[in-house]
Chains A and B, each alone.
Chain A
Amino acid sequence: MLVPVKWLKDYVDLEDISSKELADELTLSGSHVESIKSLGEDVENVVVGKIEKIEKHENADKLLVCTVDTGKEILTIVTGAKNIKEGDYVPVALVGAKLPGGIEIKKTNFRGIDSFGMLCSLKELGYEDNVIPKYQRDGILILDKEYQPGTDIKEVLGLHGEIIEFEITPNRPDCLSLIGMARETAATFNRKLELPKIEIKDEVDHIHDYVEKIEVDETLCNRYYTRVIKDVKIKESPLWLQTRLMEAGVRPINNIVDITNYVMLEFGQPLHAFDLKKLKHNKIVVRTAKEGEKIVTLDNVERNLNNTHLLITDGEEPIGIAGVMGGLDSEITEDTEIVLLESANFNDKSIRKTAKSLGLRTEASSRYEKGLDPNLCELAAERVCQLVEEIGAGKIVKGVIDVYPNKREEKTIKLRPEKVNSLLGVELTTEEMIGYLERLCLKTKEEEGLLHVTIPTYRLDLGIEVDLIEEIGRLYGFHNVESQPLKGELTRGEKSYNRLVEDKAKSILQGLGYNEVMTYSFISPKAYDRINIEKESPLRNYIEIMNPLGEDYSVMRTTLIPNMLDLLVRNYNRGVKECYTYEIGNTFIPKELPLKELPYEKKVLIIGMYGDEDFYSLKESVEILFERLGIRDLEFVPEKNNPTFHPNRSALILKDGESFGILGEIHIDVMENYDLDKRIYIADLDFEKIVQHANLERRYKPLPKYPAITRDIAVVVDMDITVGEIQKEILSKGEGLIENVELFDVYTGAQVEEGKKSLAFSIIYRSHERTLVDEEVNKIQDNIILALKDKFNANLRS
C-alpha cells in the first residue's frame, strides 16, 4: 500500500512530524513500513515555460525550434517532440538542471542551432512507466492550465514529500485505504482524524428517470448502491488528481474513472461506472451466470462463465463480472454522457472463487476477497458524486437506489481489564486501556469492572477479547513491555533417544572425515530409471505431489541414492577431486496409494564417496560407525542382485539375519546413466534399525592381565572362498581363546596354483584367566587347519 504523506495530511495534522518519524512510529504500532521514497529529490531547476512560438528546424526535418518564456528570460529550445503547440505550458529543464538518473542539462547545439534547455516528459521527471497515462506516454507533459512561467515545476506537480509503502497484513483490509491508514496514524500519534465532509451542492432530475429497478441475488450480494451522473464530459482529470493517483501507484485514465479510483484509494471501496446508454434495459440485475454464458471484459478477453460466477446484468445481457471486472460493451468512453455508478458489496468467498476460476485477479477482486464493510458503499458513492461536481465532470442526478439485504451492524465485545494485564505482562489502569481503545475509534463503556467495547463495522479483524488485548498492546507498544523471565517449576529440556543416536552417528562420521550434506525431500520420478530400479520394485511406490514445481521436484523420495549421486556427480563435474559425504534424511513410504493417511517417514543414513579410496575404505567406515554405536557381530554378505550396485562389489550388512542395508560400488550401468567415469561408493543404511540396535551405554572391562600368543597361518584356497568365511571358521574353532583374526596378505601368482589364492592371517590367542601355553595353542591351531581343509579344501602354504 503506497501512502503519499501529503495525502495523509488531508486527514491528520502531521505538520510537526517528519516522514521518518511517521514511518518509525507506525511500524511500532503495527503498520510495517517497507520503503520510503522521496519525491522530486533528483529534480532541480525545472520550471514552467510557455511556448511562444514553434518553428521548423532548417537542417532537420524531425526537430522543432521553440521560443519559450520561462519567466526570467525567453529561451530557444530545440525539441523532437510532436505533441506541443504554441501557447502550451510545459516543464522546462533549464541549463544546469538536474533530472533523475543523474542527468544534467547543458547548452547543446542541434545542427547549427543552440538549445538552452530541454522540454520534459513525465518519465524524464521521474514518474514510473506503469503510472504514466497513455495520453502522456509519447511526448512532453502539457500542463492542464496556465501557470506563471518560471514557477518551479515541483510546486506545480506536487513533486515533494515522501511516499511510504506499507505492508498490510491480511487481517486489516480496512488499512488498504488512505482513510484506514489515517485512522492508524491518528491513533498512533493520538491526534484527531478529519474525515472529508461530503456534500453535493446541486442535484437534477431523479434517478428513477434513468433506472427502472435493481434486483440482487441476496446470498452473494450484500449491498448494491447506485447513483446516476448526467451531462458527463469525459476528458483528462485535473493535474492534482492525476499526480495523486500516480503517486499512489495508479495510472490516470479519464476524469470519471480517475475519480472512482481516487475514492477507492481513499476509502478502500471499489467502484464501477457503467455507460448507462449502452445498457439494453434501464435496470440492474445481479445474478449468477448461466452455464455457457459469455462476456467480453474490459481487457478485451472473452470469458466463459458458469453458475458459480456472479454477474451484473441489465436484466438480459451481462455487463460485468461482479467485483472482478466490468464488461467492454458498457465501458466509459469519450462519448459517454450518462454514468451509472455502482458501489456494491459482494460475498468475499464468491469473489475469490470467481477470480480464481477465471484466472483474473484485479484490484477490485483482491479488495473484495479480503472483506469489505458494506457500510462503505454509501460514503464512497457520495464522495464520487462530490468530486464529479467539484471538477465539473458531470451533473449529479437526485436520489439513490440502495439495495441492502444483509445489513451489517456494530457489535460489542466484553473485555476484562485484568486479562489485558495478565496476557501482556503489564500493569495498565483501566483508564489507560479505555484511552488506547478510544484512540482507535472503539467506543468503550465501563460496567462493574468490565469494558464493553463497540466495534465499528469496518474492523473485520476484531472478534474476541484477545483481539482487543492486541489493540491495547500495540498502541501501548510491544517495545514498551518490559521483558520478564519465565517463572514456574524448573524443567529439563530433553531430546529423544533417536536424536541422541543421530547426533552420535553424525559426530562419528565427522571424525571419519565425511561431510554432512542436505538434499530435497522430493525428486524426479526419472531418477528411478537412472539408478536402474526395476519396474515392479516397491521403491517405485512413491507419493506424488499434486501441484509440483516441475518434474524434478514431483515425487517424495523412497531412497536417498539419486540425491546422493546427483551431488557427487555435480561435485566431480565441477572438478572436486574427492568427496566424502553423508546425509541422514527421510524417505516416504506410503501405506497405500493414493494416500489416505500419513505415510511412514523412514529415516535413512546414506554415505557416498569418490576419490582415492575404495570399497574397503567405505566398509571400514561403516564398521567403525556400527562399532562405536555399540552394534557388533555384523556380517557382510556379497549381494549380486541389487540393480543399482556392482554385482561383484557390494555387500548386504546383516546382523542375526536382519539387514541394515547395503554398501558397495555403484553399478557400471548407473554410472553410464550419469555419464561418469569415476567409481562411486555408497552405503545405504536403515537408520531406524540402527537406532533400535544402538547401545550407547559403556561398561568398563578389566584390561588383559595375561600375555597373548600370536600365530600366523597361510592357506591356499579357491578364488571364490571369501576371507569372511575363513575368519568365521577360524573363530568358531578357537575355543573362546581367539581374540582376533587379522588378514595380512592376499597373494596370487607364482607358486600359487591358477584359480587359487593364498591368504595369510595372524591369529591372536589370549585367555583372561591364565597364561596360555604353546601346547594348547598348537592343538587349536591344528584343529583350525583341519577344519579349513575340511570345509574349504584349504591347503597350508609351505
Chain B
Amino acid sequence: MKDKLLNIKEEAISSVHEAKDLDDLENLRVKYLGKKGQLTLLLREMGKLSKEERPVIGKLANEVREAIEKELAEAKESFREKMKLEKIEQEKIDVTISQRKKRLGHRHPLLATIEELENLFMNMGFSVIDGPEIETVYNNFDALNTPENHPSRDLTDTFYITEDILLRTHTSPVQIRSMLERGAPLRMVSAGRTFRFDDVDDTHSPMFHQIEGLVVGENITLANLKYTIDVFVKELFGQDMKTRFRPHYFPFTEPSAEVDVSCISCKGKGCSVCNGTGWSMELLGCGMVHPKVLENCGIDPEKYSGFAFGMGVDRITMIKYGINDIRLLFENDNRFLEQF
C-alpha cells in the first residue's frame, strides 16, 4: 500500500511537470484526486489494513494528496502567468495612431477676449450691461455732449437709419442708459458691436467692437482711473506692462486722456514694431465724466464725479494674438478659428 501511494505520488508529480496546459492539469487532477481518481480509489482499500497500519498509511496518503495538490496549484499558477503574458503580448497596439473623431469647439478669439475683459471687470466690482446696436442720436451723441458740428456725426462717419436713429458708433450710449436707469453710485462695463463708415481693409471694418467702463460715485478721481486702468492692463497683458497717460480730447470726458501701453513685442525696450519708442499707441481712451453728461443723466456733478474708459476690442485681440488683418476676425475661416 505504501509503495502504491508513493508510486502514485511520483507518477502524478511527473505527469504534472509534463502537462501542457490548464486542461491537462484538470485531467490530472481528476485522474489522481477526483472522485474516481487513483488516490481516492486506493484509499477506499484502507479498510483492509490493520489498526496499526491505518494511521501510518492515512498520514502518508494525506501527505501524498497535499503534495499532488501543491504541485497542481503551482503548475496552474505558472500557466496562468504565462497565458497573461501571452495575452498582453498579443494585445500590442500602435499607440502612434491618432483617431481624432471627437471635436471640441473653439471660442471666437474676439468674443473670448470680450468675455475675459468682462470677467476681469466683474471681479473688480463692475456689472456687465448690454445695450442695443441701433441707438438714438440723442444717446449716441447729444447726451454725450458731442458738439453739433463734430465730424463724427457726419454721414461719412456714421451709419444712419433715420435722422434720429443710427447704428451706434461706440458703446458709450450704454453709459447714458445705465446712468438713467440706475443712477449713482454705479460701476458698469459694456461690450459689443459698434459701427463706423469705414471701408474694409486690413485695419478697418465697418463693424467693430468696443468695451466701455464707467464708475460714478462720490470723490472718484483721476488717480482712481489710473489705478483701474493699470490693474486691467497688467491682468490682460502681463504684470510687466506699463501704461502712459497722455492728455487728449473727447467730448464726454474732461479731463480726457489716451493710454499707451508698453510695446507688446519688446515690453518697452524699444524695437522696430514700436519705432523704437517702447510704446504701443492708443490702447484706450478715458477721462473724468464731463459734468454735462452727468447732468444729462440726472446726476448732480457737484455731489458725484466719475470716470469712463473705452477701447477697441478688435485691436486688443489682434495685439494679443498677433493677428495682422482685421478681416480674419469676420471671415470665420475654420482654419483661423481652430487656432484659438
Contact = CB atoms under 8 A, between A and B. Distances in A.
Partners in one complex: yes
Interface of A: 27-30, 32, 169-172, 348-349, 352, 369, 422-426, 461, 464, 466-467, 469-470, 473-474, 478-479, 481-496, 498-499, 503, 506, 509-522, 543-549, 553, 556, 567, 570-571, 574, 576, 579-582, 586, 588, 594-595, 598-599, 601
Nearest to B128: A495
Contacts of B290: 466
A238 B122 CA distance: 64
B244 A479 contact: yes
Given A518-B332, A549-B197, A32 B288 contact: no
14 contacts: A424-B222, A425-B221, A461-B249, A466-B290, A486-B125, A486-B228, A493-B125, A494-B127, A510-B106, A518-B110, A570-B332, A576-B333, A579-B334, A580-B103
B135 interface: yes
B207 A493 contact: no
Contact of A478 (B128, B156, B222, B305): B222
Contacts of B9: none
A516 B249 contact: no
B330 A519 contact: yes
B159 A481 contact: no
Interface stretch (B25-33, B49-57, B251-259): B251-259
Contact of A571 (B103, B110, B148, B332): B332
Nearest to A24: B277
Interface string B116-129: 00100111111111
Contacts of B197: 547, 549
B160 interface: yes
B335 A470 contact: no
A484 B122 contact: no
Contacts of B112: 516
A576 B334 contact: yes
Contact of B155 (A369, A474, A479, A546): A546
Contacts of B226: 478, 481-484
B206 A470 contact: no
Interface stretch (B16-24, B65-73, B79-87, B212-220): B212-220
Which of B195, B254, B291 is the most central at the interface, judged by chain A CB atoms within 10 Å of its CB? B254
A494 B130 CA distance: 12
Contacts of B288: 423, 466
Interface in B275-306: 288, 290-291, 305
Contacts of A598: 132, 134-136, 165
Nearest to A597: B165
A488 B217 contact: yes
A556 B221 contact: no
A579 B106 CA distance: 12
B291 A464 contact: yes
Contacts of B105: 509-516, 580, 582
Contacts of A511: 104-105
Given A425-B223, A484-B224, A494 B334 contact: no
Please indicate which of the listed interface residues B123, B150, B256 has the most CB atoms of chain A within 10 Å of its own CB: B256
Contacts of A481: 222-223, 226, 245
A425 B134 contact: no
Contacts of A595: 161-162, 165
Nearest to B118: A495
A464 B288 CA distance: 14
A390 B133 CA distance: 60
A613 B50 CA distance: 86
A708 B2 CA distance: 61
Interface string B189-217: 00001010101000000110000000101
Nearest to A611: B103
B238 interface: no
B151 interface: yes
Nearest to B147: A170
Interface string B225-263: 011101000000000000011111100001111100000
A512 B104 CA distance: 6
Nearest to B228: A486
A495 B122 contact: yes
Contacts of B125: 486, 490-493
Contacts of A522: 206-207
Given A425-B221, A510-B106, A547-B159, 18 more contacts: A172-B249, A423-B222, A423-B288, A470-B247, A481-B223, A483-B224, A487-B219, A488-B217, A510-B107, A515-B105, A516-B337, A517-B332, A517-B337, A518-B330, A521-B167, A553-B206, A571-B332, A598-B134
B115 interface: yes
Interface size class of B (residues with CB under 8 A): 35 or more
Given A422-B219, A467-B254, A478-B246, A576 B227 contact: no
B161 A493 contact: no
Contacts of A27: 246
Nearest to B125: A491
Contacts of B332: 517-519, 567, 570-571, 581
Contacts of B3: none
B122 A493 contact: yes
A486 B246 contact: no
Given A423-B305, A466-B290, A169 B254 contact: no
Contact of A496 (B130, B160, B223, B258): B130
A476 B46 CA distance: 119
Contact of B224 (A486, A509, A545): A486
Contacts of A489: 185
Contacts of A570: 331-333
A270 B130 CA distance: 46
A513 B103 contact: yes
Contact of A170 (B102, B135, B151, B258): B151
Given A486-B224, A601-B132, A493 B127 contact: yes
B338 A424 contact: no
A479 B220 contact: no
Contacts of B318: none
A455 to B, nearest CB: 15
A32 to B, nearest CB: 6
A406 B220 CA distance: 41
A171 B249 CA distance: 7
A479 B107 contact: no
Most buried by A among B126, B133, B193: B133
Contacts of A423: 221-222, 288, 305
A574 B106 CA distance: 19
Name the residue among A27, A425, A579 with the largest chain B CB count within 10 angstroms: A425
A29 B257 CA distance: 10
B316 interface: no
Contact of A518 (B108, B123, B222): B108
A549 B126 contact: no
A470 B199 CA distance: 35
B111 interface: yes
Contacts of A490: 125
Given A493-B127, A494-B128, A595-B162, A485 B227 contact: yes
Contacts of A574: 333, 335
B134 A473 contact: no
A544 B337 contact: no
Contacts of B249: 169-172, 461
Nearest to A349: B149
Name, among A473, A478, A579, A580, the residue most crowded by chain B CB atoms within 10 Å (CB to CB).
A478
A544 B159 CA distance: 10
